[in-house]
Structure 1
Amino acid sequence: MTRDGLRFGIVLLPQDRWAQARARWQRAEEYGFDHAWTYDHLAWRTLVDEPWFATVPLLAAAATATERIRLGTWVASPNFRHPVPFAKDVMGLDDISGGRLLLGLGAGGTGWDATVLGPPPAPAERTRRFAEFTELMDRLLTQPVTHHAGEFYTADGARTIPGCVQRPRVPFVLAANGPRAMRLAARHGQAWVTFGPNLPAEATAELSPAAAQELWWQGLAAMVEQFGVQARAEGRDPASVERHLSLDGAPVFSLTSWDVLQEGVERAASLGFTDVVVHWPRAEGVYAGSETVLDRLAGELDRLRATAR
């Protein structure tokens, strides 16, 4: 837990034209959220045929429309990113935002943007690629000139000048569910982020929503324990790594009701998470929820922070 209590973040999907999206990013700041994020995909799952805008220009626009709130990628991956040009983008976003950028990074899933550029890697290869991607991003963002010849990436005298506003680089928020990725998060991350356990459909098919939710929390508790093991293996005190939880990884979306949200916040805090993240509620489908609950959350952020200290 941070000295000031639990921090709160919100994800805004990149679906609206900027003329409409601008007001939401500004509202996220006015509401008092500590950080705001957007997905770094070319398209996403069930929303693949809906509007979807690019991440970097959206975050650049959000940076100029806001003043205080931290901004980040939820999460960038090697699925379609190369570290050399992406490091330039990250350096630019950190500069435009005045040092407010958070870099969420993940291995990349098996969804649409994993295949649009060609056949996706096998799971073991994807894990190795993520490790190389993260380690090379770390080098690119902390030194002016980088040379690298690896299994997946080459950097021949890549320049990243003048570097990030934040020193030695922007904070890495690394998504990890398995042991190898958790060790990578402990090695390079200022924060670990998880969406919780991925419950197979057959495990929840006959469960009530409440029972499925409880199963998810039990799995998450085991993941927290596993992260502690991996952090200690890397020589780090697990408490020294900030921990972000996507509450909407659970079977019941966080802004479905106030009771669901409040229970999620309390249980996240009890598991040692320093930050919780919700999604701006959509009218239906994935991340469906109530803007009334969002408004209430905004009004009670200070109280929830205080009770979670």
Structure 2
Amino acid sequence: MRAGIVILTEDRWWSGEPKWRNAEEFGFDHAWTYDHLSWRSLADGPWFSALPTLTAAAMVTEVIQLGTFVATPNYRHPVPFMRELITLDDISDGRLLLGLGAGVSEGGAGDRAILGETDWQPRELAERFEEFVEALDGALIKDNYSFDGTYFRMSGSRNLPGSVQQPRMPFAIAANGPRSLRVAARYGQGWITTGWPSDDNEQWWRGVAELSERFDRALDDADRDPARVRRYLSLDAGPVYSLSSVDTFTDAAQRARKLGFTDIVVHWPRATDPYCGREAVLERIAEEVLAEVQEL
């Protein structure tokens, strides 16, 4: 099992840089950041852009994979986004993981509200996302690519020199609903789930198990080999913060592995909610149990 950590883009670089360095030194396999214009309860505080932050992180790390958790079509068009991704994949020497999502969460709704676009319905969000992923996949893989959709269009989009990872960087697609699960099964080299919202920990884990079974069926319908698609579980989407203690983290990792997840993702502890915790616990996890969890 691989382990990853999310580092929010709320710190000036002099303060944020050590976290990215430490994520690699601690032994995490991947490090992520949110791709939003602002985010939930932190909207009134400092917030920096995801892709420049990941580019800076690539310059101070060597082996850890770097990713968006997750990028959405709420304020992006596939063509300029494709160019930014190819650039970031080049600068990181092929370490980019592209997390993609429909933007149906509260964070996505906040992005749309900032842009004055508040009337998108769930069906339209799902349709836009499906079209966005198809168009982005084509633009990254094929040079001189054209696409004529309902929401996105491009004509003769050039992608030279292409990404370092071929045919493109891996897509890790966040999906809980039926339509997005089909998109993940068709285009994803990875699937990300947050489970269904619940204040009851056991109920949340039951929901995660049910979603995993639904993704199995989506893979079968898409004629995809399950062994070729990684499964990422965002542990902190549940009601218990995964870094509350060493035992909490270890138990959550073991439960995720039993459900077939290949990857878990936690969040760097903050002084206040959300993800309120102590860096001392993170350091203990890195020193005492992270290597054991990765051997699960």
TM, length-normalised to structure 2: 0.96
Distance 1:115 1:160 in 2: 31
Aligned to 2:112: 114
In the comparison of the two structures, how many residue pairs are matched? 291
In structure 2, the gaps of 5 or more residues are: none
Alignment match, 1:221: 209
- Give, as a single letter, the amino acid of the residue that structure 1 aligns with 2:293: L
CA separation in 2, counterparts of 1:29 and 1:175? 24
CA distance in 2 between counterparts of 1:302 and 1:251 reads 25
- Pairs within 5 Å for 1:183-222: 183-199=182-198, 204=199, 212-222=200-210
Q: 1:104-136, CA deviations, whole angstroms, 9 ceiling, x for partnerless residues? A: 000002431122112231100000000000001
1:176 aligns with 2:175: yes
1:29 is aligned to 2:24:
yes
* Aligned-pair CA distance for 1:238: 2.5
2:229 is equivalent to residue 237 of structure 1: no
Alpha-carbon distance, 1:290 to partner: 2.1
Structure 1 moving runs of 4+ over 2 Å: 237-240
Q: Distance in 1 between matches of 2:132 and 2:158?
A: 17
CA distance in 2, matches of 1:94, 1:75: 16
Counterpart amino acid of residue 287 in structure 1: Y
Percent identical among aligned pairs is: 51
Counterpart of 1:261 in structure 2 is 249
Q: 1:137 matched to which residue of 2?
A: 136
What pairs with 1:1-309 in structure 2 (closer than 5 Å)? Answer: 6-109=1-104, 110=106, 111-120=109-118, 121-199=120-198, 204=199, 212-299=200-287, 300-306=289-295, 308=296
C-alpha distance in 2 between matches for 1:302 and 1:256: 18
Q: TM-score, normalised by structure 1?
A: 0.92
| Distance in 2 between residues matched to 1:214 and 1:292, nearest whole Å | 27
Matched residue type, 2:174: A
In the TM superposition, what is the alpha-carbon distance from 1:284 to its structure 2 partner? 1.3
Distance, in Å, in 2 between the alignment partners of 1:255 and 1:223 is 23
Write the distance in 2 (CA, Å) between the matches of 1:145 and 1:11.
35
SS of 2:243's equivalent?
helix
SS at match of 1:256: coil
Q: Distance in 2 between matches of 1:240 and 1:57?
A: 30
Matched residues in 1 for 2:261 and 2:161: separation?
34
Matched residue type, 2:81 = F
Aligned-residue Cα RMSD (Å) equals: 1.0
Distance in 1 (alpha carbons) for counterparts of 2:230 and 2:245: 27
User: Which consecutive residues of structure 1, in runs of 5 or more, have no partner in the other structure?
Assistant: 1-5, 205-211
After TM superposition, give the deviation of residue 178 of structure 1 in Å: 1.0
For residue 305 of structure 1, what is the amino acid of its counterpart? Q
Counterpart of 1:252 in 2: which secondary structure?
A: coil
| Larger CA deviation: 90-99 vs 16-25 | 16-25
Equivalent position SS for 2:22: helix
Q: Which shows bigger deviation, 149-158 or 70-79?
A: 149-158
Per-residue deviation, 1:65: 0.8
AA of the residue aligned to 1:255: L
Aligned equivalents of 1:36, 1:237: Cα separation in 2: 26
User: Are the counterparts in 2 of residues 227 and 238 from structure 1 also a CA contact under 8 Å?
Assistant: no
Question: Quick one: distance in 2 between partners of 1:240 and 1:159?
Answer: 29
Deviation at 1:237, TM superposition (A): 2.7
